[in-house]
Amino acid sequence: MTVRVSLTVNGKPATAEVEERTLLVEFIRNNLRLTGTHVGCDTAQCGACTIHLNGRAVKACNMLAMQAEGAQVVTIEGIAKADGTLHPMQEAFREHHALQCGFCTPGMIMSAIDLVKVHPSPSEETIRAELDGNLCRCTGYHNIVKAIKAAAAKM
Amino acid sequence: MATNYIGQAVKRREDYRFITGAGQYTDDVALPGQTYAYFIRSPHAHAKLRSVRKDKALKAPGVVAVFTGDDTKAINGLPCGWLITDVNGQPMKEPPHPVLAQGKVRHVGDPVAVVIAESYGQAKDAAELVDIDYEVLPAVVDVADARKSGAPALHDIAADNTCYVWALGDKAAVDKAFAGAAHVTTLEFVNNRLVPNAIEPRAATASYSRADDGYTLYVANQNPHVERLLMTAFVLGLPEHKVRVIAPDVGGGFGSKIYLYAEDVVVTWASKQINRPVKWTAERSESFVSDAHGRDHLTKAELAMDKDGKFLAMRVHTTANMGAYLSTFASCIPTILYATLLAGQYTTPLIYCQVTAVFTNTTPVDAYRGAGRPEATYVVERLVETAAREMKLDPAEIRRRNFITKFPYQTPVALQYDTGNYEATLGESLKLGDVAGYAGRKRESEAKGKLRGIGYSCYIEACGIAPSAVAGSLGARAGLFEAGEIRVHPTGKVTVFTGSHAHGQGHETTFAQVVASRFGIPLEDVDIVHGDTGRILFGMGTYGSRSIAVGGTAIMKAVDKVVAKGRKIAAHLMETAESDVEFKDGFFQVAGTDKKKAFAEIALTAYVPHNFPHDKLEPGLNENAFYDPSNFTFPAGSYVCEVEVDPDTGQVRIDRWTAVDDFGKIINPMIVEGQVHGGLVQGIGQALTEVCRYDKATGQLLTGTMLDYSLPRADEVPSFRVGTKETPCTHNPLGVKGCGEAGAIGAPAALMNAITDALGVKDLPMPASPLNVWRAIQQNKIKKAA
């Protein structure tokens, strides 16, 4: 069975006819071809698929596309300004070498933006605790923590 | 024009695409008309395949094809790239490793069939309709059980489940030294099995074109040329030049993406059978049962000393788990990359190591970050720290008494260290870690009711693998050089093609720093291309921290050829002898004059050769080089770790961690620090949180998801104090040694030394989970009370 799903992604309307079982992340990656949102696991542990749904960070592998009907979704492709100016969190990740292979990075950045929204000047301890939904196997987190701290000061 | 970028923390040029979601990983590649593959895997650890019936599945909606072992009989098995010769001079046992099971399955996850459909969901649905009749057999999963009498045999050619028994060193001399020793320290432990878990799951998308009878394979892989060579020459028998392997952005490897896997072969082969592209991306649960695992040793290690703590001899017996089949480089990890490192940083004159490799009903085991060297470091550094405690010596002092101080140094286990300064890295780590203040911190912890411990680890690794001739004499079935090409464009811009492959290491930045600096041109004038057999002449790929030492040197050799040709062109243009032309800061200059030509002018002349020495030179400015190293490189360092343990819960908190490494010359300190951080956390993961467990009775994988297998998270690890000391490598022009694996190699011993110190116990199994730590505390209490 298919179902028609309509939502707003990165400020633009997005509609597709999908199987009911289609996950939101599959809709984003396969139907919209926004491949910056990644899939790293099948148990909602790694956080590589983190996006913003109605302003909050959520794991897009953990809900069906049809559950996002009518929602405002922002993906990693949608956080820089239209002229290419990077979001302060993106800039901070680059500045502080907070990424290596880049695979977890979109999810990390999306989580980090939400983290700073909730904790405007987070301590290292808060950052580490709040990042427990995102796995990185490359950086050892050291520089991610630094980047988030630096970005928080600028956001 | 400031164009020396060596040693500068240049920001990474690859980052823009990754932070904007524009990276292109294998699963992001979508080919027109692509189909989707789903692999049906054995749910049993060991079973006979009575029948595999696919007729129902073939009729399911969207199904394009179903292939089973019967369909793939003509495909050769997956090869092992390293032949180990056993103690009796016999070759190791190499059982067949079919791409789809033939008659038997030997581990949970062993691929049995593949369903290919119009959508992934349809392939997965149809897989439910493939009727597989298994006759379940008893399974064996533990190294300790594999050779016991009555253990179920996996392979006909290895009835005792033994792949080989191999040894290195003079056993009689070692035994004699032990007999006369003042003190012997003994440890027996398991080096826990790990699952690499790169965050990008493995993936492969293959297409075939009847137009040119050619194949293109996109694959998450660390060495695309090796993948192609193994697949074409050994497995599928395809013409190598008709297969293009592209490893685009790859989301981490850590060794697990070195190997040729069954899925890569099957999708490539199937793309021709159905004449459509075939896409496969592993689900994480598949990664757990099909990516090669790491470690899994059972070891007894002994260190003999004189009365002053001077090491006289070391004796090591290890049983290593190969899993159900030999993965691509499995056989050399617990031998060539393990026993040869047992001298560590010390002058131990006599070492004997015997390794027994066994087959079990588990996922194959191969190189995982460090590959043999973490296991060796764990042996040496746990022994040394335990010896210090038993001899009532300061752990730094016992190390100092035994450090190698004269180089080159020939170890008793085959390696020759070219250079190093172990006192320097140890001294710096003690300073940076404020070890002098430890006693005060311990008192503070105790006042809070916490236990505090300190641990050291002075590791060494052999990187830049390897001189091909040496590797060949030890059983390698491949060369281990690297290739590079410098293409100077007419405008003086440069494209560098390298056989190394980056999957997080930042080669696009580091290699450009090297080339731009040597040419004296702006960094933005240099681009690095990697990961495509269709564009790069050849390559052995990235593993063993070899990229800058071997790949970087190949590039430097090509750069030198460009400069040599440039000098000839410049001499012609400036009407002088070639010997009078020197190349510096981007200019070819007549020595002692102000006559000079810019690099870009020479490039233009090479491509617009109107005034050109045609009698001596060909036009163009494009050079290749292959580099085969003359020795390994020997990065080394010293890690100091302090932990605080909650005696009520067994929870370990790492309070401070200091790492001082000697990687030789450093090109980009920011990237090097990042590599150290990441390696440390993988090493900490092994010691603190990670373990792969199988159920002994059924052979089921118990830690098969990220819920059950505990990867370290941000709140479980500290920030690090890192420092470096530089003793440049003596045998490559950059003086570099490699930094990718150090943290994972040195960290586990440092952490376990600290935890055992805190608890006052001799040993503790890894990982030091709250349960393991709490148990040790309780046992200690009972022991003290008795």
Q: Could you report the per-residue pLDDT of B482-505, keeping only the tens digit for each? A: 999 999 999 999 999 999 999 999
Min Cα separation A98/chain B (Å)? 8
The B residues from 617 to 646 touching A (CB cutoff 8 Å) are none
pLDDT for B783 beyond 90: no
Taking CA B247 as the corner, what is the angle to CA B243 and CA B250, rounded to the nearest 5 degrees?
Answer: 165
Tell me which chain A residues have a C-beta less than 8 angstroms from the C-beta of B704: none
Residue A70 Cα, gap to closest chain B Cα (Å): 24
> How many Å from the N-terminal Cα to the C-terminal Cα in chain A?
44
Mutate to test the interface with B, among A61, A90, A138 (most CBs of B within 10 A): A138
**Closest by Cβ to B706, choosing from A19, A41, A75:** A41
In chain B, what residues touch A106 (CB-CB under 8 Å)?
18-19, 21
Which residues does chain B have within 8 Å of residue A86's beta carbon, measured at their own beta carbons?
19-20
Closest CA to A75 of A105, A41, A99, A97: A105
Share of residues in chain B with pLDDT > 90 (%): 98
pLDDT digits (tens, 9 = 90+) for B262-273: 999 999 999 999
- Among B654, B671, B659, which residue's Cα sits nearest to residue B635? B659
Nearest to B759 by CA among B731, B783, B728, B741: B783
Residue from B638, B646, B639, B649 nearest B751 by CA: B639
Helix (H) or strand (E) holding B470, with range, is helix B468-473
Residue given tokens 């897009």 in the structure block: A60
Radius of gyration of chain B (CA): 27
HSE of B200, CA atoms in CB hemisphere, 13 A: 34
Q: How confident is the model at residue B784 (pLDDT cuts 50, 70, 90)?
A: confident
Taking contacts as CB-CB distances below 8 angstroms, the residues of chain A near B504 are 100-102, 138
Chain B residues closer than 8 Å to A100 by CB: 252, 504-506, 674-675, 678
Question: How far apart are the C-alpha atoms of B680 and B657, rounded to whole Å?
Answer: 9
User: Which residues lie below 8 Å from residue B689, measured CB to CB, with a gap of 6+?
Assistant: B710, B711, B712, B716, B767, B769
- Using the 3D structure, point to which of A19, A48, A78 is the last residue of a domain: A78
Q: What confidence category does residue B616 fall into, taking pLDDT thresholds of 50, 70 and 90?
A: very high
| Number of cross-chain residue pairs from A and B with Cβ atoms under 8 Å apart | 174
| Chain A nearest-CA residue for B9 | A97
Which residue, among A51, A137, A141, A146, would best test binding to B if mutated, counting the most B CBs under 10 Å from its CB? A137
Query: Which one of A9, A41, A52, A115 makes the best mutation probe of the B interface by having the most chain B beta carbons within 10 Å?
Result: A41
Beta strand B63-68 with B111-117 is antiparallel
Residue A58 lies in a domain: yes
* In chain B, residues 732-751 whose CB comes closer than 8 Å to chain A: 743
DSSP labels, chain A: -EEEEEEEETTEEEEEEEETT-BHHHIIIIIS--TTS----SSS-S-TTEEEETTEEEETTSSBGGGGTT-EEE-GGGSS-TTSPPPHHHHHHHHTT--SS-SSHHHHHHHHHHHHHHSSS--HHHHHHHGGG---SSS-SHHHHHHHHHHHHH-
Angle, CA of A75, A79 and A82, to the nearest 5°: 120
**Selected residue of A100, A105, A135 to mutate for chain B interface (largest B Cβ count, 10 A):** A100
Strands B183-191, B131-136: pairing is: unpaired
| B673 SS3 class | helix
Partners of residue B679 in chain A, C-beta under 8 Å? 140
- Chain A nearest-CA distance from B563, in A, is 32
Q: Which residue of B has its CA nearest to A134?
A: B713
Encode pLDDT of B644-663 as tens digits: 999 999 999 999 999 999 99
Contacts of A127 in chain B (CB under 8 A): 714
Residue B780's pLDDT is 85
Cross-strand partners of B354: B167, B317
User: Cβ–Cβ of A103/B23 closer than 8 Å?
Assistant: yes
Is the same domain home to A93 and A32? no
pLDDT of B2: 54
Q: pLDDT of B234-257, one tens digit each?
A: 999 999 999 999 999 999 999 999
CATH number of the domain that residue A116 is part of:
1.10.150.120
Interface touch A95/B11, C-beta < 8 Å: yes
Is the domain of A65 the same as that of A98?
A: no
Start and end residues for every CATH 3.30.365.10 domain found in chain B: 297-465+631-785, 481-627
Is B717 within 8 Å of A90 when comparing Cβ atoms?
A: no
Tell me the nearest-neighbour CA distance from B191 into chain A, angstroms.
20
List CB contacts of B416: < 8 A, sequence separation 6 or more.
B408, B409, B410, B631
Question: Average pLDDT over chain B, rounded to whole?
Answer: 97
CA B322 – CA B46 distance, rounded (Å): 15
Question: Is residue B57 over pLDDT 60?
Answer: yes
pLDDT category at B786 given cuts 50, 70, 90 is: confident
CB B3 within 8 A of CB B517: yes
Distance (Å) of CA B34 to CA A17, B118, B119: 19, 8, 9
Closest CA to B394 of B442, B426, B351: B426
Calpha distance B184→B765 (Å, rounded): 21
Whether residues A14 and A41 share a domain: the answer is yes
Residue A146: CB partners within 8 Å, gap ≥ 6? A96, A98
A137 and B201 within 8 Å at the Cβ level: the answer is no
Q: Please give the model's pTM, rounded to 2 decimal places.
A: 0.97
Residues recorded for chain A: 155
H or E element, residue B487: strand B482-488
- Listed in order, the ranges of chain B carrying CATH 3.90.1170.50 are 31-137+200-251+257-290
Of A37, A42, A75, which has the smallest distance from its Cβ to B283's Cβ?
A: A42
Distance between CA atoms of residues A102 and B20, nearest Å: 10
Do A74 and A101 belong to one domain? Answer: no
A33 occurs within a structural domain: yes
Q: Tell me how many domains chain A contains.
A: 2
Question: Domain residues for A128?
Answer: 88-154
Tokens coding B764: 């503790």
Q: Which residues pair with B645 in a beta bridge?
A: B451, B652
Residue B576 phi, psi (nearest 5): -140, 170
Which of B504, B670, B720 is nearest residue A138 as measured by Cβ atoms? B504
Tens of pLDDT, residues B682-697: 999 999 999 999 999 9
**Intervals of chain A under pLDDT 50:** none
The per-residue pLDDT for B710 is 97
Q: B20 and A36 in contact by Cβ < 8 A?
A: yes
**Nearest-angstrom CA–CA distance, B92 and B126:** 40
CA distance B537 to B530: 10
Among the four given CATH numbers 3.30.365.10, 3.40.50.300, 3.40.250.10, 3.90.420.10, the one describing domain B297-465+631-785: 3.30.365.10
Pairing of strands A72-74, A50-53: antiparallel
pLDDT band, residue B466 (cuts 50/70/90): confident
Q: What is the 3-state secondary structure (H, E, C) of B5-73?
A: CCCCCCCCCCHHHHHCCCCCEHHHCCCCCCEEEEEEECCCCCEEEEEEECHHHHCCCCEEEEEECCCCC
Q: Is B31 on the interface with A (CB under 8 A)?
A: no
Note whether residue A139 is domain-resident.
yes
How far is the CA of B409 from the CAs of B348, B405, B406, in angstroms?
12, 8, 6
Comparing alpha-carbon positions, the chain B residue that sits nearest to A86 is B20
- pLDDT at B391 (0 to 100): 97
Q: Of B175, B36, B106, B488, which is closest to residue B324 (Cα–Cα)?
A: B106
pLDDT at residue B533 greater than cutoff 80? yes
Q: Which two tokens stand for residue B373?
A: 């060297």
Q: How far apart are CA B268 and CA A8, in angstroms?
A: 38
Task: Output the domain CATH number for residue A14.
Answer: 3.10.20.30
How close is the nearest chain A Cα to the Cα of B257, in Å? 13
> Looking at beta carbons, which residues of chain A come within 8 Å of B284?
40-43, 46
Given a contact cutoff of 8 angstroms between Cβ atoms, the answer to whether B328 and B366 are in contact is yes
Tell me, yes or no, if B200 comes closer than 8 A to chain A by beta carbon.
yes
**Which pLDDT band holds residue B769 (cuts at 50, 70, 90)?**
very high
**Neighbouring C-alpha atoms within 13 Å toward the C-beta of B591:** 7
Secondary structure of residue B706 in the 3-state scheme: coil
Neighboring chain B residues of A136 at a CB cutoff of 8 Å: 199, 714
Reported as a pLDDT band with limits 50, 70 and 90, residue B785 is confident
Judge whether B670 and B111 are in contact, CB under 8 Å: no
Pick the residue from chain A with its C-alpha nearest to B29.
A35
Residue B38 forms contact with A (CB below 8 Å): no
Cβ-based neighbour number of residue B729 at 10 Å: 29
Considering only CB atoms, A40 lies closest to which of B201, B675, B678, namely: B201
Rg over CA atoms, chain A = 15
Nearest-by-CA chain A residue for B681? A140
- Pick left, alpha or beta for residue B752 (phi over 0 → left; psi -120 to 50 → alpha; otherwise beta): alpha
B1 pLDDT more than 70: no
Say if residue A54 is in the same domain as residue A18. yes
Contacts of B25 in chain A (CB under 8 A): 35, 38, 103
For residue A132, which residues of chain B lie inside 8 Å, CB to CB?
A: 713-715
Amino acid present at B375: E
Question: Residues A38, A95: one domain?
Answer: no
Q: Hey, are the CB atoms on B674 and A143 less than 8 Å from each other?
A: yes
Q: Is B201 on the interface with A (CB under 8 A)?
A: yes
Residue A32 resides in a domain = yes
Question: Would the pLDDT of B3 be above 90?
Answer: no
Q: Are residues A98 and A73 in the same domain?
A: no
CATH superfamily to which B31-137+200-251+257-290 belongs: Aldehyde oxidase/xanthine dehydrogenase, a/b hammerhead (3.90.1170.50)
Supply the DSSP string of B350-366, one letter for each residue: EEEEEEEEEE-SS--B-
Nearest to A103 among B199, B680, B713 (CB): B199
Facing residue for A138 by CB, picked from B30, B252, B714: B252
Asked if the structure places residue A97 within a domain, the reply is yes
Best CA proximity match to B346, nearest among B297, B390, B391, B411: B411
Last residue of a domain, one of A31, A47, A78: A78
The span from the CA of B684 to the CA of B136, in Å, is: 38
Question: For residue B27, what is the nearest residue in chain A, using CA coordinates?
Answer: A35
Shared domain check, A133 and A96: yes
pLDDT at B766: 98
- Indicate whether A23 and A56 sit together in one domain: yes
What is the pLDDT, as a whole number, of residue B443? Answer: 98
* Neighbour-count burial for B584-598, b at 16+ CB within 10 Å, e otherwise: eebbbbbeeeebbbe
Give how far B707 is from chain A: nearest CA, Å: 7
Q: Is the pLDDT at B376 greater than 80, yes or no?
A: yes
Residues A121 and A147 in one domain: yes
Question: Please, are residues B583 and B551 in contact by the beta-carbon 8 Å criterion?
Answer: no
- Report the share of chain B in percent with pLDDT over 70: 100
Contact A140 B199 (CB under 8 A): no
Burial of B697 (0-12, 13-18, 19+ CB in 10 A): exposed
Give the model's pLDDT for residue A105.
98
**C-alpha closest to that of B290 among B384, B365, B232:** B365
Contact A42 B705 (CB under 8 A): yes
Question: Is B705 near chain A, with CB under 8 Å?
Answer: yes
Tokens of B157: 């050619």
- Residues B405 and B424: their CA atoms lie apart, in Å, by 11
Question: What is the pairing mode between strands B581-584 and B622-627?
Answer: unpaired
Residues A70 and A103 in one domain: no
Distance between CA B17 and CA B513 in Å, rounded?
19
- Could you tell me where the beta strands, DSSP code E, fall in B77-209? 104-105, 111-117, 131-136, 162-168, 183-191, 203-209
- Label the pairing between strands B243-246 and B214-219: parallel
**Contact partners, residue B665, CB within 8 Å, separation at least 6:** B6, B7, B726, B728, B729, B734, B735, B736
Question: Is A102 within 8 Å of B682 when comparing Cβ atoms?
Answer: no
Q: Quick one: how far is CA B254 from the chain centroid?
A: 5
Does one domain contain both A12 and A74? yes
CATH code reported for the domain at B481-627: 3.30.365.10
Contacts of B506 in chain A (CB under 8 A): 100
Is the CB of A138 less than 8 angstroms away from the CB of B678? yes
